[in-house]
Chains A and B, each alone.
Chain A
């Protein structure tokens, strides 16, 4: 194709310098044209009127439709639930389809930490799927896990008291299992970015609202 473009340019322009200058834009334009002309998208499906059907068969389909809808609705959560969008770093408090609160949050940074000594590793993702609030705590303290020491190059302490750090998690925390929590933070300027080690961080006001609106057993959907 390059030879063809060069020949065409030579024929049009004559001057070798102009030919070299215009080669790339003309090649790109040719590629764009080929791309545009080979695109052949489907026409959107439209249904203007309901197609005619045997009334008995249609009734049967409608009954089956109602039954299936009811089964699907039975699987849906009842009451308030929490949705965490890790792509957008947003937390939603919902009741059915209604959004009661939209809050900016921080979720896992996705980094990998390896402990060469004991041959273990951690991936700092916020876990996806369905969880439930298993415990609600006012004035939580952070019990530093092993990775927090390894990450800083520090020796893992043997006593529990050496792991405890106060005032790191804000005023409230909601445990969602496996050590993960929804809690507050000192680093409020970073809320909205993926900076945590897997937990979900909220600003103080939003944290209080979510804490007060949810209960132990409230579903938390993370995706």
Chain B
């Protein structure tokens, strides 16, 4: 083999090596725009109704409460763990259960037997059903058995006490997931106030779109 042939072979080999090192094109359905398009396509029929819906954009770690395509409130996901991934880029679901150990209870007013016995003009705040009554740990269960566990994280010095409670809740969620071994599941961490607000705002039978990475 002469020097020219060696040089030529070397150049060919170099070109082949460089082309192998460069990234191959991404398939169309894995491009981020494809995920966004899928999300928008699922959102449009929900935006035409007069009800709120919730978008879990776990790809970009945000949750939005929306209506008519308008974001009413947004929550930032501080941390997340996808235990079992979703099969598609985005899926529309209906919330069927908010599972926790204790559901907040409403006060039942017992009308007085005699008129004027109750001074209803003095409004008793402690009986009201408010945001502070909402739980910080809970599971969201959807119609297709998808599950999301919501945990709070506080920067308060006594926030480590929350971590203790969270350990038990995480263990319960782990065993719950075993009952539906093929269904997607994730854990998300929000600030305590956001966790309560999500529980308050996201009502049963409301629609959601889950866009997972």
Q: Please give, as numbers and ranges, the residues of chain A lying within 8 Å of B203 by CB-CB distance.
A: 128
Q: Please give, as numbers and ranges, the residues of chain A lying within 8 Å of B116 by CB-CB distance.
A: 152-154
Looking at chain B, what size class is its interface with the partner chain? 35 or more
How many residue pairs bridge A and B at CB < 8 Å?
185
Q: Contacts A45-B213, A53-B31, A109-B129 given; indicate if A223 touches B72 (C-beta within 8 A).
A: yes
- Docked pose: A122 CA to B135 CA in angstroms: 24
Cross-chain contact B123 with A195 (CB below 8 angstroms) = yes
Q: Contacts A87-B200, A88-B131, A193-B128 given; indicate if A34 touches B69 (C-beta within 8 A).
A: no
Cross-chain contact B164 with A41 (CB below 8 angstroms) = no
Q: Please give, as numbers and ranges, the residues of chain B lying within 8 Å of A52 by CB-CB distance.
A: 23-26
Contact of B123 among A73, A128, A150, A190 (CB under 8 A): A190
Q: Contacts A32-B160, A112-B108, A123-B106 given; indicate if A42 touches B82 (C-beta within 8 A).
A: yes
Number of A residues with CB within 8 Å of any CB on chain B: 63
> Scoring A residues 194 to 211 as 1 if CB is less than 8 Å from chain B, else 0, what string do you get?
110000000000000000
> Scoring A residues 20 to 60 as 1 if CB is less than 8 Å from chain B, else 0, what string do you get?
00000000100110111010111011010001111001101
B125 on interface, CB distance cutoff 8 Å: yes
**B-to-A contact residues, CB < 8 Å:** 23-26, 28, 30-34, 36-37, 40-41, 43-44, 47-48, 50-52, 59-61, 65, 67-70, 72-73, 79-82, 106-118, 120, 123, 125, 127-131, 160, 163-164, 166-167, 170, 189, 196-197, 200-201, 203, 213
**A-to-B contact residues, CB < 8 Å:** 28, 31-32, 34-36, 38, 40-42, 44-45, 47, 51-54, 57-58, 60-62, 64-65, 68-69, 71-73, 75-77, 83, 85-88, 109-115, 123, 125, 128-130, 150-155, 187, 190, 193-195, 219, 221, 223
